A and B are shown apart, each in its own frame.
Chain A
Amino acid sequence: MLIKKPSDINPSEITPESVYRNRRQFIEDSGKLLLGAAAASTLPSIANAQTGAGLMARAPASMRRSPPAAWWADKFANIKPAPDSAPFYTGESLTPYEDVVSYNNFYEFGMNKGDPSSNSGDYKADPWSVEISGEVAKPGVYNLEDILKPHDLEERIYRLRCVEAWSMVIPWVGFPLADLIKRFEPTSKAKYIEFETLVDPETMPGVRSRFAIVDWPYREGLRMDEAMNPLTLMAVGVYGDYLPPQNGAPLRLIVPWKYGFKSIKAIVKINFRETMPDTTWVDLQAQEYGFFANVNPAVHHPRWRQDTERRLPQTLFSRSRIATQPFNGYGEQVASMYEGMDLSRYY
């Protein structure tokens, strides 16, 4: 018997993208062919031929990260691939991994887009714990391993629209926030949920900076129905790989119909409360940033337009400026939550 070592080259790197994207059709078609020739029982072995092979997107082999701790590898061994249809998937071109991990706003590591990736060398995503507090039956400080244990990871391809009028398409790995919330049994008083980012001056140079006018820690929040929406994701990975520090390792929020700053990174606290929490950007500039921060081409930022966006990456001579969609294109899933609300007032 000939035993071949699996190749180091990611299939996505050698297969044309169009073929790669249609591989399920290909597998299905070849499956149908096989059905005629062989017993149906051989099919599962084809589907499970290679762990992670079903994922829509994987980080380039040369850039893959080592797991923050051994248990992470087991967790990532079985990720459910993104479906082929909206809303957990979009067929738009993915923003390459290299750009997703090098162009970031994460002010704890510095002000420029390149700072988070270059200044996060000392950052430790393990060990990690999250404090759950407020209006829940089961408050406490939980190890990340325990937090993640019951949840199966899945891949989701979302648009990310920054309030600065640029956008990306990113394959995240995570699980629904709703599933996590249910485990802590929120009380009837829990109307809002509040998140906090780690503050560690030792490993986060931006926190030490004298020019940062942020009152650390970074805080964000959601209304309970927003938090429970199936689109809202707790992410632990990107491109089938562990989150790099600059993307919010080890645990971050993804709220795809809101401006990027709502999708808080490196979460250490989750607090359930009856009243709307103060959030960092609202505290800094309430006229410019609202609590809801839903992507809305009709409501401009006071200092710049929001009706179009620069889809990244661009080159100078092939720029893709596209129209910004209400709720970032997720209106069908989320618009009903805001019925009757004046969105130009509650921006």
Chain B
Amino acid sequence: MQMRKLIKPLVFVLALLPFAVLVLRIIQNNLGPDPVQELSLETGEWTLRFLILALAMTPLRRITNQIEFTRHRRMIGLFALFYASTHLLVWLMFDLEFRWFAIAEEILERPYITVGFTAYLILLALGITSPKFMVRKLGKNWKRLHKLVYVAAILGVLHLLWILRLDIGPAVFYSSLVALLLGYRVWFRLRARRS
């Protein structure tokens, strides 16, 4: 029982580790000659990783029969939102330097940004509705709303695919993971219906 209590803070600290590493690299001025690009790439990739990790929790619980996994689903999902927020902030602050007109233009005109920004809005909505009282308040609609997490994941991968120049490796990797997780859901649903 004591051990179990330790898992939650442990997951929390682990999830903060990539952020701590980035902060350390900023302090040490160790981000290379193009730090804005480096920060964008890192925060973007960590967003995708946490999003995929959050999506993996339910399948992992079903496969292993360990309830433990779903107990951390919300926190991991919130960390996806956290890294997405830093990703957005890096872009607003360092890349476009809060030139609001240019920001609006980018969101409307560049499809990869439109897609990325939409994914962010979804994550934000899911984050806001994640506390327990919101779950109760929304009732049935909560589940419906939170299915949007798959849309966010697909848009997130699309966002990556759309910006790359040549290196399809990471994009292929993350999109296969999303496809796998989504496929598992569909398969599970179909099987449940049959039985």
Interface string of B162-182 (1 = CB under 8 A from A): 110111110010000000000
| A95 adjacent to B166 (CB under 8 Å) | no
Give the residue of B32, B106, B165, B172 whose beta carbon is less than 8 angstroms from that of A103. Answer: B32
Which residues from A are CB-within-8-Å of B94? 316, 319
Binary flags per residue of B17-41, CB closer than 8 Å to A gives 1, else 0: 0000000001001011111110100
Chain B residues lying within 8 Å of A102, measured Cβ to Cβ, are: 32-33
Q: Are A166 and B166 in contact (CB under 8 A)?
A: no
Name the one of B26, B36, B172 contacting A314, with C-beta atoms under 8 angstroms: B36
A164–B165 CB distance below 8 A: yes
Interface string of A158-200 (1 = CB under 8 A from B): 0000001010000000000000000000000000000000000
Interface SS of chain B: helix, strand, loop or mixed?
helix
Residues of B within 8 A of A112 (CB): 167
Docked-complex contact A212 and B166, CB < 8 angstroms: yes
Indicate if the CB atoms of A107 and B35 lie closer than 8 Å. no
Q: Are B168 and A211 in contact (CB under 8 A)?
A: yes
Query: How large, as a class, is the contact surface on chain A?
Result: 20 to 34
CB of B97 within 8 A of chain A?
yes
Nearest-CB distance from A319 to chain B (Å)?
Answer: 6
Q: Are A310 and B97 in contact, with the CB atoms below 8 A?
A: no
CB of B166 within 8 A of CB of A316, answer no
Q: Which of A112, A303, A305, A316 has the most CB of B within 10 A?
A: A316
Asked if B79 is an interface residue, CB under 8 A from chain A, the answer is no
Name the contact of A312 in the complex, choosing from B33, B106, B111, B163 (C-beta under 8 A): B33
Please count how many residues in chain B sit with their CB below 8 Å of the partner chain's CB atoms: 24
Give chain A residues whose Cβ lies under 8 Å from the Cβ of B106: 305
Q: Is A240 in contact with chain B by the CB < 8 A criterion? A: no
Knowing A111-B166, A111-B167, A213-B166, say if A310 contacts B36 (CB, 8 Å). yes
Q: Can you list 17 A-B pairs with a CB-CB distance of less than 8 A?
A: A99-B32, A99-B33, A107-B166, A112-B167, A166-B34, A166-B37, A209-B169, A303-B110, A303-B112, A310-B37, A312-B34, A313-B33, A314-B35, A314-B36, A316-B26, A316-B94, A319-B36
Q: Please provide the 6 A-B residue pairs with the shortest distance between their CB atoms, ordered closest to farther.
A: A111-B167, A313-B33, A211-B169, A99-B33, A312-B33, A316-B35
Residues of A participating in the B interface, judged by any CB pair closer than 8 Å? 95, 99, 102-103, 107, 111-114, 164, 166, 209, 211-214, 284, 303-305, 310, 312-316, 319, 321
